[in-house]
Structure 1
């Protein structure tokens, strides 16, 4: 009798697992479809100017966390410059945020010698990286729409043609 009872409940574990997986899938789907707002962070530029959330509102913004010691960051920077130059007249803003362990003098030297055309900020205490979801990997780039919602997070170098399509769509909206 005992054997019959356990075998009659044998379907319960797979069924429960299926329900849990379906629920997890729905939760993941809901999470992916909810665009989270960019954190209300005020950046401090290498020129000493404050870059407030209010000054970025209504614009499409790229926030790029990078470091002068990051080979991928340095390799992608010319394409970031090209991307900014291509779309700035349409309203794109770009903030390159140097990570807290990056010596400020290295960041200033890099930005000046490469004549970076966009805003470069220092995250000396790591507060911006923390606010953006504990960014630890560089480069990490966020594309934010005109309403302040995060459209995409890239970890590593983005595929630039796809990034350009995303920017074009966001800038039109």
Structure 2
């Protein structure tokens, strides 16, 4: 389990330096101080009388596209952040790690950019911090704008109720607990027989679902009642993965690359389950396809392009990368970026990885 975000000492240091926060709707003063309310002392300071129905999604910037229907029945984390908020940026890798761990088990993370900045800059900064979740511009929660700065995080459980607001450090714990409660509730059992009851207790404590899956699988081979409970719990824990596998199977013939992207992470996410075995078999089959093989071959080159992107986005003037001053000051790096993307276009012209690389180069006016 990876701890979220940053230590209290770091928050205090950054707050003292004046890094940080702003109101998401008013968008004023990107150098405003970090919200003192975000420091969790155990006492509620924000209204919890909001639900996922109050979420108003802003314009999509990067990451998975999320609609209102994607929030139903899920644990939702709304993370208000900004490119000029140092604590927010320190938090983002931890949020990405949490999303990587729990997205396949029903977590949806929305990164709401709450400061004034060009979309390309927001996209580049988020990518440089490893954001693997939906990044939008000024997503808001109606009735929940009673906070004065960022970072500020809202956690909603699978019923849509807001169960936590405040500091990102505590938000991770609350999100883990909410995911566990959701998986247990979706099993449709009022109570569980031993040894499944012990697994349920661990889920409710926020333990990583992936680590508990082998115990659930093993419990299916016991007595009739616990085996039935284990089967119901396994179905709940693997429901999203099963749906992905079925979509991948449908797409395998017409669009093998899209099918591969859907299924490639399932064997690791659901290790030790029948789902993982079926997904691994499909992955092995799809890797024999020429288009999939090209996609995989292009990935190392894309990683190099992403490294160029991270370096360039951190340099002064990157928000207007086409400006003559930026182009002149970063000529060598831009030349390397252009050459790498040109190589990708020549070698893997139809790969999705190449398309992403071209989009990065275009942001810096360096597309071949």
**TM-score strictly above 0.5:** yes
Secondary structure in 1 matching 2:168: coil
Q: Which has the higher strand share?
A: 1
Partner of 2:149: 137
Secondary structure in 1 matching 2:123: helix
Any unmatched runs of 5+ in structure 2? 1-43, 186-368
Partner of 2:169: 158
Q: Work out the CA distance in 2 between the residues paired with 1:40 and 1:91.
A: 18
CA contact (8 A) 2:80 2:112 kept: yes
Partner of 1:12: none
CA contact (8 A) 2:92 2:130 kept: no
**CA separation of 1:58 and 1:74: change in aligned 2, threshold 3 A:** same
Cα displacement (A) at 1:60: 0.8
TM-score w.r.t. the length of structure 1 is 0.66
Partner of 1:37: 51
CA contact (8 A) 2:75 2:107 kept: yes
Cα displacement (A) at 1:141: 0.7
Secondary structure in 2 matching 1:159: helix
Q: Work out the CA distance in 2 between the residues paired with 1:48 and 1:62.
A: 15
**CA separation of 1:98 and 1:87: change in aligned 2, threshold 3 A:** same
Q: Which has the higher helix share?
A: 2
TM-score w.r.t. the length of structure 2 is 0.33
Secondary structure in 2 matching 1:142: strand
Q: Work out the CA distance in 2 between the residues paired with 1:128 and 1:161.
A: 20
Deviations 1:40-64 (Å, cap 9, x if unpaired)? 4133210498633222111111110
2:180 is the alignment partner of 1:169: yes
Any unmatched runs of 5+ in structure 1? 1-28
CA contact (8 A) 1:64 1:96 kept: yes
**CA separation of 1:167 and 1:114: change in aligned 2, threshold 3 A:** same
Q: Work out the CA distance in 1 between the residues paired with 2:58 and 2:113.
A: 10
Partner of 1:14: none
Q: Which is further off, 88-97 or 37-46?
A: 37-46
CA contact (8 A) 2:58 2:137 kept: yes
Deviations 1:88-121 (Å, cap 9, x if unpaired)? 1111111100004244232111123334111111
Structure number with the bigger relative contact order (C-alpha 8 A, sep ≥ 6) is: 1
Q: Work out the CA distance in 2 between the residues paired with 1:63 and 1:115.
A: 17
CA contact (8 A) 1:66 1:98 kept: yes
Partner of 2:133: 118
Partner of 1:80: 95
